[in-house]
Amino acid sequence: MKKILITGGAGFIGSNSALHFAKNKWKIYLIDNLSRKGSKDNLSKLKKNIQLTFYKVNVSNYSSTSKIIKKIKPNLLIHCAGQVAVTKSVIDPRTDFNSNVLGAINILESIRLFSKKTRLINISTNKVYGNISKKKITQGKKRYSYSHKIKSIDENQPLDFLSPYGCSKGSADQYVRDYSRIYGLDTVVLRMSCIYGNMQFGIEDHGWVTWITILSYFEKKIKIFGNGKQVRDVLFINDLVKLFLKLSKSKKNINTTYNVGGGVKNSLSIIELIDILEKKLKKKNKYEKFKWRSGDQKIYISNISKIKKDLNWSPKIKISEGLDKVIKWIRENDSKIKKILKI
């Protein structure tokens, strides 16, 4: 039986990955420090549904992390643990560094020294590209767009780490690439835009699609930072976990970096999301505008051509269908979500 270790395994991406790999007959090991609201609840759900081994560990602790990796020697390690919010990184860059840079080094060193055959999927972010050039953007009624011929951002975009979160995730991204070059580790880096879906306890700082859907569902006031025309491509979680499984089987991607998201066809601004939710939930949303948050890109849309071609993968779940699934999850768990998120 193949073994997968997921760090941040009780988080949104981690717990959905655990369910998918368990369904595909993998042996599941999870590391999480349970610092995120909702992670304890995700873990209970996992424990009820699948066989797993759980370690409550902070990945910035090398001794504990390396012991686990040395013992398990997983075939695949998906590194999802970390500080996830730009806003929090601005307030507390040291914690962000410890979680994201030290955490990544600890994973890499553990694999290098004790488990060299492990394939590592490192979850990076579009924030490593920074603001990209402001000149190439135009402002429409409800969204920003790329001008000229550029419709999306590919992997050749120069790196420009923006915000402490951008720096810590970017450093980890580059360390992972270099451990592959220098030490021959089997790694893949995924620079992801916005992922949304069930078991995501969205908060104001992270997971905006689900967060706004939750606020809209509970008829709470939505805070819009900036003018609401910010655009991202969004990917439903079920499409992402299928990609992870494909990557676990493919050996041609060693030391490769991919941009991953919903792509041009699945891009969305905040205002557009609010419009869709008003129609779906048949409720008028209340919102208030606040000043732009530092490090917020006006538009980011992933060019996913490279991963489509190499893995024969593409997003299947369109925004409308994905939002229906999220609304159903909120409806089925509404009192729990309300309690966990204190809304």
305 class by beta-carbon count within 10 Å (0-12 exposed, 13-18 middle, 19+ buried): middle
85 or 327: CB nearest ligand NAD: 85
String marking each residue 81-110 x if it binds ligand NAD according to CB under 6 A: xxxx--------------x---x-------
Catalytic residue, from 29, 55, 165, 300: name it: 165
Cα Rg of the chain, angstroms: 19
42-71 residues in contact with ligand NAD (CB under 6 A) are: 58-60
Binding of ligand NAD by 28 (CB under 6 A): no
125-164 residues in contact with ligand NAD (CB under 6 A) are: 125
Q: How far is the CB of 12 from ligand NAD (least distance, A)?
A: 4
The SS3 call for residue 90 is helix
- CA–CA–CA angle 247, 76, 237 (5° rounding): 55
Q: How far is the CB of 243 from ligand NAD (least distance, A)?
A: 13
81 or 304: CB nearest ligand NAD: 81
Q: What is the DSSP string of 270-335?
A: HHHHHHHHHHHHT-PPPEEEEPPPTT--SEE-B--HHHHHHHT----S-HHHHHHHHHHHHHHTHH
Task: In whole angstroms, give the CA distance from residue 301 to residue 263.
Answer: 6
190-209 residues in contact with ligand NAD (CB under 6 A) are: 192, 194-195, 207
Kind and range of the H or E run holding 134: none
The neighbour count for residue 343, using CB atoms within 10 Å, is 13
Structure tokens at 329: 């999850």
Judge whether 68 and 31 are in contact, CB under 8 Å. yes
In angstroms, the Cα distances linking 332 to 18, 222, 290, 335 are: 21, 22, 32, 9
Only segment of 80-88, 289-297, 301-309, 332-340 that touches ligand NAD (CB under 6 A)? 80-88
Binding of ligand NAD by 30 (CB under 6 A): no
- CA–CA–CA angle 22, 56, 59 (5° rounding): 95
Only segment of 33-41, 46-54, 86-94, 320-328 that touches ligand NAD (CB under 6 A)? 33-41
Only segment of 44-52, 78-86, 142-150, 180-188 that touches ligand NAD (CB under 6 A)? 78-86
Only segment of 76-84, 148-156, 268-276, 311-319 that touches ligand NAD (CB under 6 A)? 76-84
69 or 192: CB nearest ligand NAD: 192
The partner residues of 259 in beta bridges, in order of sequence, read: 191
Judge whether 4 and 26 are in contact, CB under 8 Å. yes
25 or 81: CB nearest ligand NAD: 81
Q: Is 183 part of the annotated catalytic residue set?
A: no
21 class by beta-carbon count within 10 Å (0-12 exposed, 13-18 middle, 19+ buried): buried
Catalytic residues: 165
Binding site for ligand NAD (CB under 6 A): 8, 10-14, 31-36, 39, 58-60, 80-84, 99, 103, 123, 125, 192, 194-195, 207
